[in-house]
Amino acid sequence: MGKHEFQTEVNQLLHLLIHSLYSHKEIFLRELISNASDAIDKFKYATITEERFKQVSWSPRIDLRFTEGDHRILEIEDNGVGMSEADLIENLGTIAKSGTKNFVAQLSGDAKKDSNLIGQFGVGFYSAFMVASKVEVQSRKAGEEQAFQWSSDGTGGYELETISKESQGTLIRLYLNEEGNEYGNRWQLEQLVKKYSNHIAFPIFLHYEKTEYGKDGAPDTKTPTVDQINSANAIWTRAKSELSQEDYTEFYKSVSHGMDEPLFWSHVKAEGTLEYTTLLFVPKTAPFDLYHANFQPGVKLYVKRVFITDDDKELLPTWLRFVRGVIDSQDLPLNVSREILQQNKVMKNIRSATVKKLIAEFSRIKTEEPDTWQSFIAAFNRPLKEGLYQDHDNRDAIAELVQFHSSKESGLTGFTEYVSRMQPEQKAIYYITGGTESVLRNSPLLEAYNKKGIEVLIAADDIDEIVIQGYGKYKDHELKAVNRADAGEDLKTETDEVAAKEAAPVIERVKKALADMVKDVKASSRLLESPACVVTDDTDPTFQMQAMMRSMGRESDLPAIKPILELNPNHPLIVGLKDASDATVDDTAHVLLAQSLLLEGAEIPDRVDFVKRLNRLLG
């Protein structure tokens, strides 16, 4: 009881909300009504699954009350599950999820940038402080006798005290400030509820005083009146023909807690062996926690319109974690637990069918809506690649969607498009990994491919190497990394064979100079302008894979790996080594190895030694 300090992250968030986001202040009502709806959802589930609540006589509802005048007050009350003292501290005084902490850590003080970021995140309960100088929360948890009041002016802390409250649930009382005074009237509240919360599946009642007029037309009496102001009809249960784009957009804003419109959506009602409905949205921008291990799932599960969970990462595979919306099943048992849910055959079938439907929708967008496709792939190409690696049941369909940069094409391209441009005699799909797009595009490994007009996919994402290796083959075409030793064999010609024989003495001298620093030294058929390059043996992890393993603390799992040095037998520097002294060959060999490793983003064995040898050669 008594005074408490906000967690530091809460103070940061409140400061930003109060000072930077007035242009979005009307969403406070949407957020508070959504919280009330969630609380009712949770108690409705408890009346089905917990014996002590099964006989409770209960009609779910949300009530709005307001006072007019100079000092306006707005109340939002629900009869949901309610909160205990510990719940109030955890939910209203602390940002409990580390993902939210990560979000707060990204706030910069740039109001415009932070406003966009907060639009992706959603502002929840704290949005109340955009319109209120003081907020009181009175709550009594279902099944408990004691009620509590939480109150704060949003400037640094809050107070807790015990109170009396006749019924379970939560009442939020907002003492409206100058920014919020406009919401203390019937017309504004009705408009906002219809705009943002019409789909809420429970009735929302507005309490107000209805003015009666006398015979002379003047106001006579005021009668207390209560009207239901929302349709209380879950949007996903309605036919698509009944719904407008605005209906879908406002529902998306509610489930995503954002302010922007969705990129596109998929609304499916399945009937037959399984009966279920899905309404799933793809955002325009990636959720801020998309690449956090503790990301917040964006899909809610209902059974016969009864809310079950919104915190289950198994509802969709992790590569689809950017999707927002609802799944409502008619066949799952209402008392299904999260543990049972993960093993439930019905849920597995719904999940499988839903994933296939989403992939089909992505494919349709790619074919029919190129502008939307470009926006989608810009935001979610990487998660698609994760799916190519993880989702064995759908990997061939996902392979038609993933995109890469290319040595021949501007923009992004896919496997299908690559195959359509292949040389007549070409059998493999070539790709290069190991750095940024600009570094890879200028790699000496591409020189011969570029000259012969053979396209190479520029796989610059840090996960591309493991993804492509894991996939291995697109239809009848093997996927070959150009920084592997065997890829160079595909380029070899009779001229290369002759050049290799002529350079054999130099290659032997370089191999002797490098001794056990390399696995081998060979004549290259892939270099035209550069004197040397390094590649890895087909059975060894590449340089990028080695770096990834080290970053994961798995260096002990790495065997002693040595690169293969390839020399360009036609390059003047290599030709000149034929008559050079042993000392010059020794220094040149070490410098060529070091610079080739640097180009591949690998560590050189001894930087001091490299500089000394380079200085000797320059001298």
> DSSP assignment of 220-241, as one string?
EEEEEEEEE-S----GGGS-GG
Q: Which of 369, 387, 419 is the last residue of a domain?
A: 369
Gyration radius of the chain over CA positions: 32
* Separation between Cα atoms, residue 266 and residue 323, nearest integer Å: 10
Tell me what pLDDT residue 199 has: 78
Residues forming a β-bridge with 172: 76, 137
Per-residue confidence at 94, pLDDT binned at 50, 70, 90? low
515: left (phi over 0), alpha (psi -120 to 50) or beta: left
Identify the three-state secondary structure at position 164: coil
Per-residue confidence at 49, pLDDT binned at 50, 70, 90? confident
Whether residue 271 is found in the same domain as residue 195: no
Least confident of 96-110, 415-429, 459-473: 96-110
Output the CA torsion sign for 337, 338, 342, 348.
Answer: positive
Note whether 566 and 526 are within 8 A (CB): yes
Q: Does residue 453 fall inside a structural domain?
A: no
What is the average per-residue pLDDT within 225-243? 90
* Separation between Cα atoms, residue 135 and residue 242, nearest integer Å: 39
Digit-coded pLDDT (tens) for 114-131? 444 444 444 578 888 889
Closest C-alpha among 274, 287, 262 to residue 365: 262
Whether residue 617 is found in the same domain as residue 495: yes
Write the CATH number for 515. 1.20.120.790
Whether residue 215 is found in the same domain as residue 244: no
Write the CATH number for 279. 3.30.230.80
Closest C-alpha among 99, 93, 90, 112 to residue 20: 112
Q: Which of 329, 344, 369 is the last residue of a domain?
A: 369
* Separation between Cα atoms, residue 321 and residue 422, nearest integer Å: 35
* Separation between Cα atoms, residue 49 and residue 479, nearest integer Å: 52
Tell me what pLDDT residue 118 has: 43
Position 573: which residue type? L
Digit-coded pLDDT (tens) for 465-519? 889 989 999 999 999 999 888 777 778 888 888 988 999 999 999 999 999 899 9
Q: Does residue 102 fall inside a structural domain?
A: yes
Whether residue 176 is found in the same domain as residue 287: no
Identify the three-state secondary structure at position 263: coil
The overall average pLDDT reported for the chain is 86
Tell me what pLDDT residue 603 has: 80
Identify the three-state secondary structure at position 310: coil
Q: Which two tokens stand for residue 248?
A: 């879908």
Identify the three-state secondary structure at position 470: helix
Q: Does residue 409 fall inside a structural domain?
A: no
Residue 154's domain comprises: 2-232
CB under 8 Å, gap of 24 or more: what pairs does 219-223 form? none
Tell me what pLDDT residue 554 has: 62
Closest C-alpha among 576, 564, 574, 594 to residue 507: 574
Note whether 265 and 280 are within 8 A (CB): yes
Whether residue 81 is found in the same domain as residue 204: yes
Digit-coded pLDDT (tens) for 426-469? 989 999 998 889 889 989 999 999 998 999 999 999 899 889 98
The domain tally of the chain equals 3
Whether residue 251 is found in the same domain as residue 324: yes
Write the CATH number for 156. 3.30.565.10
Residues 82-96 as b/e (b if ≥16 CB within 10 A, e otherwise) read bbbbebbbebbbebe
Q: Does residue 597 fall inside a structural domain?
A: yes
Per-residue confidence at 350, pLDDT binned at 50, 70, 90? very high
DSSP letter assigned to residue 300: E
Q: Does residue 389 fall inside a structural domain?
A: no
Position 8: which residue type? T
Q: Which of 201, 232, 263 is the last residue of a domain?
A: 232
Host H or E run for residue 75: strand 73-78
Identify the three-state secondary structure at position 456: strand
> DSSP assignment of 167-188, as one string?
SSEEEEEEEE-TTTGGGSSHHH
> DSSP assignment of 3-67, as one string?
EEEPPHHHHHHHHHHHHH-GGGTTHHHHHHHHHHHHHHHHHHHHHHH-GGGTT------EEEEEE
Position 506: which residue type? V
Share of the chain above pLDDT 90, in %: 53
* Separation between Cα atoms, residue 20 and residue 32, nearest integer Å: 20
What is the average per-residue pLDDT within 18-40? 79
* Separation between Cα atoms, residue 440 and residue 114, nearest integer Å: 34
Position 2: which residue type? G
| pLDDT higher than 60, residue 95 | no
Q: Does residue 415 fall inside a structural domain?
A: no
Whether residue 282 is found in the same domain as residue 189: no
Whether residue 59 is found in the same domain as residue 207: yes
Note whether 213 and 219 are within 8 A (CB): yes
| pLDDT higher than 90, residue 281 | yes
Whether residue 227 is found in the same domain as residue 112: yes
Whether residue 208 is found in the same domain as residue 267: no
Tell me what pLDDT residue 114 has: 46
Residues forming a β-bridge with 213: 219
Share of the chain above pLDDT 70, in %: 87
Look at 78 and 109; give whichever has higher pLDDT: 78
Identify the three-state secondary structure at position 465: helix
Whether residue 81 is found in the same domain as residue 139: yes
Q: Which two tokens stand for residue 272?
A: 């037959």
Parallel, antiparallel or unpaired: strands 405-406 and 73-78: unpaired
* Separation between Cα atoms, residue 418 and residue 407, nearest integer Å: 11
Q: Does residue 482 fall inside a structural domain?
A: no
Whether residue 206 is found in the same domain as residue 258: no
Identify the three-state secondary structure at position 418: helix
* Separation between Cα atoms, residue 155 and residue 129, nearest integer Å: 10
Look up the pTM and report it: 0.75
Q: Does residue 562 fall inside a structural domain?
A: yes
Host H or E run for residue 362: helix 345-368
